[in-house]
Amino acid sequence: MGTTQLASVPEPKYWHLRTVLSEALDSEFAVGEVLPNERELAARFGVARATLRQALEQLELDGRLQRRRGVGTTVAPPRVGVAVGTEEHTWPGADSDDAWRPVDCTDAAPPSAVARMLGTGPGEQVHIVRRNRVTQGQPVAAELLYVPAGSVQGHTATGGLTGAARARAVLRDLRSHALEGQERAVELGSAGAEEAKVLDRLPGAPVLVLTTRCFAAGRTVAVAVATYRADTCRLTFGRTGAVEIADADEDRRAS
């Protein structure tokens, strides 16, 4: 691999390097191919390694690169389009919600921000349903659904059940309520150790966090926090308020 000096341009050097690297990915590398190490790349483009890292991080956010444990930085496959909402509001675990796989259900106190949304007291335990989503063989999301005991109290008992069976029972009980509406918020975050393991990412990798509040009987009865791979997914909102992940490559072809 030869040496390529960056031209003098008014934009930040790392941003220009991002463009140059993107062109190199298109012309010199195949999907899944491992990039040379940072020292080689920095020498090729005549930049400091700190500048190179900024450019690589941006390309990861753009969905062009993936950092994989024990492998290194590889060229990412095209983004996968995955629907994460429907025109009609539905409960998590509904029949139309078959893309998610229940994993387990435990009882623990939720994070303080979730507790405030649920209106639970300090240290009060809730059911925490864990679900994962895989699309076209790729792990794309991990979700924690927080359900207060009062939201399923008096319905099908979950005692004695464990793992995915207990998760499905809580989801089934939750659907006995008449869903009145949902409220969603999206923000950029960093993958924690657990999310990184499920999503096959490194801790600290960029992720999209979709928080959904479910309302019934005039109150919040459940809060879902779904973590999506930022390199794989792009969330868009339609006129109906539904949320879906668009295929970015299709957008590029249309423009």
The three-state secondary structure class of 54 is helix
| Sequence letter at residue 89 | H
Of 114-118, 126-130, 185-189, 237-241, where does mean pLDDT reach its minimum?
237-241
| Two structure tokens written together for 103 | 């994993």
Residue 38: what are its φ and ψ, rounded to 5°? -60, -40
- Residue 255 has a pLDDT of 33
Of 56-60, 157-161, 213-217, where does mean pLDDT reach its minimum?
157-161
The CATH classification number of 13-75 equals 1.10.10.10
CA-to-CA separations, 4 to 13, 65, 131, in angstroms, rounded = 14, 20, 46
- Residue 83 has a pLDDT of 55
The Cα–Cα gap between 17 and 7 comes to 10
- Residue 223 has a pLDDT of 96
- What ranges do the domains of the chain cover? 13-75, 100-254
- Residue 251 has a pLDDT of 42
Helices 38-45 and 13-28: crossing angle in degrees, nearest 10, is 110
| Rounded CA Rg of the chain | 21
The Cα–Cα gap between 117 and 221 comes to 9
Could you report the per-residue pLDDT of 108-164, keeping only the tens digit for each? Answer: 999 999 999 999 998 999 999 999 988 777 788 999 999 998 888 655 555 678 899
Q: What are the beta bridge partners of residue 219? A: 216
The Cα–Cα gap between 59 and 76 comes to 10
176 or 253, greater pLDDT: 176
Could you say which architecture CATH assigns to the domain 100-254? 3-Layer(aba) Sandwich (3.40)
Percent of the chain with pLDDT strictly greater than 70: 79
- Residue 116 has a pLDDT of 94
pLDDT at 84 over 60: no
134 or 38, greater pLDDT: 38
Could you report the per-residue pLDDT of 162-182, keeping only the tens digit for each? Answer: 899 999 999 988 888 899 988
Of 102-106, 135-139, 156-160, 205-209, where does mean pLDDT reach its minimum?
156-160
Mean pLDDT of 4-26: 78
- Residue 148 has a pLDDT of 93
| Two structure tokens written together for 248 | 């970015």
* C-alpha dihedral, 55 to 61 to 66 to 67, nearest 10°: 70
